[in-house]
Chain A
């Protein structure tokens, strides 16, 4: 299975600190995406990084991709209480295949 696995399963930090979440996967990918899910809501797309990219930024988000290690990390800088949510990585293999999601990291940012 190419399903990504996020690490840690849960993370609790103080407001203002940085939060780092990791994702590992098993097979070659076309791209890797990160999503956020607030309680009781659907997933929201945050950022997409292609297999030939190593780093990408979007506001307070920074994503890295290491295809040799089959891993990615999501960094949220200067976290806020509103960042409290679950974060999922999703991968897609070669060819036109749909996304497969990991089980997510639950982030709690304490004000």
Chain B
């Protein structure tokens, strides 16, 4: 199995631009999570989906952030417009159960730099 696949691995953009991060979960997994990692705040949960349905987006910092999961094999996290404080590593993780505290499989992340 290829594991959780995220793209791009690195993204550098200017403030005000739209950024779209992509995630392909492990085939057959039905829960998907987006986390953000910074030195100051550690790993923060942004949003999670069960069976493609967003369950809790209370971790999404602002309306500039949105996430979708149009099907079981693809999810996007969009930031529009981006700001320098959005600079972080964004991780997608999946698990093969709707039990949310099951072990997670993480992708290798997207390192976002907003200048």
Contacts and interface: CB of A to CB of B under 8 A. Distances in A.
B45 A42 contact: no
Interface string B58-95: 00000000000000000000000000000000010100
B109 A42 contact: yes
B42 A102 contact: yes
B100 A99 contact: yes
Contacts of A97: 100-101
A42 B91 contact: yes
A42 B42 contact: no
Contacts of A59: none
Given A98-B48, A101-B42, A40 B108 contact: yes
Given A98-B33, A98-B45, A104-B42, A33 B103 contact: yes
Contact of B104 (A45, A103, A104): A45
A101 B103 contact: no
Interface in A6-45: 30-31, 33, 35, 40-45
Interface string A43-69: 111001000000000000000000000
Interface of B: 4, 33, 35, 42-43, 45, 48, 56, 91, 93, 98-101, 103-109
Given A42-B91, A99-B45, A103-B43, 20 more contacts: A33-B101, A42-B107, A42-B109, A43-B91, A43-B106, A45-B105, A48-B103, A92-B101, A96-B98, A96-B99, A97-B100, A97-B101, A98-B48, A98-B100, A99-B100, A99-B101, A100-B45, A101-B42, A101-B43, A103-B42
